[in-house]
Structure 1
Amino acid sequence: MQSIRNSFREQIMLYIFVAVLFLVGVVFGALMVNALSLEQQQDLATYLGDYFVTLSQGNVGSNEATFWSIAILHLKWIGLIWICGLSVIGLPGILILDFLKGVLIGFTVGYLVGQFSWEGLLFALVSVAPHNLLVIPVLVLCSVAAISFSLYIIKNRMLMNRQGNFTRPFINYVMVTMVMGLLMLGIASFETWVTPVMMSWVTPLLVNPETISFVY
């Protein structure tokens, strides 16, 4: 436990940097909504309108296939970060993935709020926020572990020009990633069976004809 606390203190700046990078991505994604053309906005609005109607009718199922689809998507994200951490040239890739994740979240929330006002904000709070409040810390931990391992390679293989002992750091890196992967499976379960229920509570507000009249 003491070693974990010491490790966190040593890497606190990395945690702050990655968290800020996520936040910058969220802001950038929200601003991207304003760059959409009218045709793109109409296409997205039509798709969301149809989805809301389907959801309100209870036709969006939550089953094992949905769970594995969501889980694989999250695990792929972790896998990409893990692979990038194995090499020096992959270090920028970790930062790009973190920024991109923030952009996707910011764009989604920004579009919902921009098109549906407070109803969109309420829908984002039940559909986007809950599982991402869990996903983002997991990705931050994975990213910091990947960046740390990549920096360890730079320090011991390049700058100091020596053959360091990579066995223990590599095992620690793999263990952290595996634990985060297991957490992602739990998050996928939440996203599969709990999130749709919360979404169904808010959807009736969004299928009101006055709310989605712009779609048609």
Structure 2
Amino acid sequence: MRYIIDVIIEYIKKNIGLYIILLLILVIGILSGSLTVNLLSSLQKEELTKYLSMFFVNINNMDLDSTNIFYSSLSNNLKILLIIFLSGLLIFGFPIVFIIIFLRGFMLGFTTGYFISEFGTKGVLLSIFAIVPQNILIITGILSIGVTTLYFDFSVLKSKRKYYRESYGNLIVGYIFSFLFFSLFLLFASLIEGYISPFLIRIIANYIL
């Protein structure tokens, strides 16, 4: 376990510049999403609040199938992973990584911003217990996968130069291995979203009502 942690830390240090760039894009997305909440009309906010209130009222009576939630979350994450993976293989498709990370930040910023805006302290608790746990893993995974994709693309472009000795075969093997490893973060995030988050939401819903 210690070896894996050391490898991850070394990987982050080696690619710290790419991590900073993608982290900035994520932060811009989060800020954009949270600011967008203020652009909603009173009617839009009222409709969203009404929907959420009804959801919280009925959640204890709902049959939330954790397995279905897990598979749905995993399916969505796998689609994102496939898009990023293919964009990496296309070499010049790496801007898609920027778009995906921005959108992930935007959704996170909008959701948490709306909860806090409408429910105050209760919205903070809802965000912490129902949104943050899986998103810590999702963001960590997507950032690392994004860095892996960018590193692969830049390395392939460098390999076309005569003085760069690393072969394309070695690059793609490293790309696939790193991609699969960081994809585990999204798998664990889906497990949390399917089997833990519904339980936490039920608890917080009783407090919000």
Q: TM-score, normalised by structure 2?
A: 0.88
- Give the aligned partner of residue 92 of structure 2: 89
- 3-state SS in 2 of match to 1:88: coil
Give the whole-Å Cα distance in 1 for the aligned partners of 2:52 and 2:79: 26
Which of the residues 3, 7, 14 maps onto 1:10?
14
Letter of the structure 1 residue corresponding to residue 56 of structure 2: F
CA deviation digits over 1:28-53, x for unaligned, max 9?
A: 11001011122221221122112111
Give the whole-Å Cα distance in 2 for the aligned partners of 1:7 and 1:160: 26
- 3-state SS in 1 of match to 2:129: helix
Give the whole-Å Cα distance in 2 for the aligned partners of 1:112 and 1:5: 34
Figure out how many residues of one structure are paired with residues of the other and give that number: 205
Instruction: Determine what percentage of the aligned residue pairs are the same residue.
Output: 25
- Give the aligned partner of residue 171 of structure 1: 173
- 3-state SS in 1 of match to 2:62: coil
Give the whole-Å Cα distance in 2 for the aligned partners of 1:93 and 1:107: 21
Q: Is the 8 A contact 2:116 2:123 kept in 1?
A: yes
Give the whole-Å Cα distance in 1 for the aligned partners of 2:8 and 2:69: 35
Give the whole-Å Cα distance in 1 for the aligned partners of 2:77 and 2:106: 16
The CA RMSD measured in Å over matched residues stands at: 2.2
Q: Which moved more, 1:128-137 or 1:38-47?
A: 38-47
Which of the residues 195, 201, 204 maps onto 2:203?
201
Give the whole-Å Cα distance in 1 for the aligned partners of 2:205 and 2:39: 27
Letter of the structure 2 residue corresponding to residue 44 of structure 1: L
State the shift of 1:183 in Å: 3.1
Q: Which moved more, 1:62-71 or 1:133-142?
A: 62-71
Q: Is the 8 A contact 1:54 1:60 kept in 2?
A: no
Where structure 2 has 5 or more consecutive residues not aligned to the other structure, the ranges are: none
Where structure 1 has 5 or more consecutive residues not aligned to the other structure, the ranges are: 208-216
Residues 35, 63 of structure 1: alpha-carbon distance in 2 compared, 3 angstrom cutoff: same
State the shift of 1:115 in Å: 0.7
Q: Is the 8 A contact 1:113 1:120 kept in 2?
A: yes
Give the whole-Å Cα distance in 2 for the aligned partners of 1:154 and 1:37: 47
- Give the aligned partner of residue 142 of structure 1: 145
Q: Is the 8 A contact 2:68 2:194 kept in 1?
A: no
Q: TM-score, normalised by structure 1?
A: 0.86
Give the whole-Å Cα distance in 1 for the aligned partners of 2:127 and 2:63: 17
Q: Is the 8 A contact 2:69 2:193 kept in 1?
A: no
Q: Is the 8 A contact 2:29 2:103 kept in 1?
A: yes
Give the whole-Å Cα distance in 2 for the aligned partners of 1:60 and 1:116: 25
Which of the residues 39, 43, 50 maps onto 1:39?
43
Q: Is the 8 A contact 2:67 2:195 kept in 1?
A: no
- Give the aligned partner of residue 136 of structure 2: 133
State the shift of 1:130 in Å: 0.9
Q: Is the 8 A contact 2:156 2:171 kept in 1?
A: no
Equivalent positions of 1:155-166 (< 5 A) are: 155-157=158-160, 165-166=167-168
- Give the aligned partner of residue 82 of structure 2: 79
CA deviation digits over 1:89-131, x for unaligned, max 9?
A: 3121111111110000000000000011111111111111111
Give the whole-Å Cα distance in 1 for the aligned partners of 2:162 and 2:95: 21
Q: Is the 8 A contact 1:87 1:153 kept in 2?
A: no
CA deviation digits over 1:121-145, x for unaligned, max 9?
A: 1111111111111111111110000
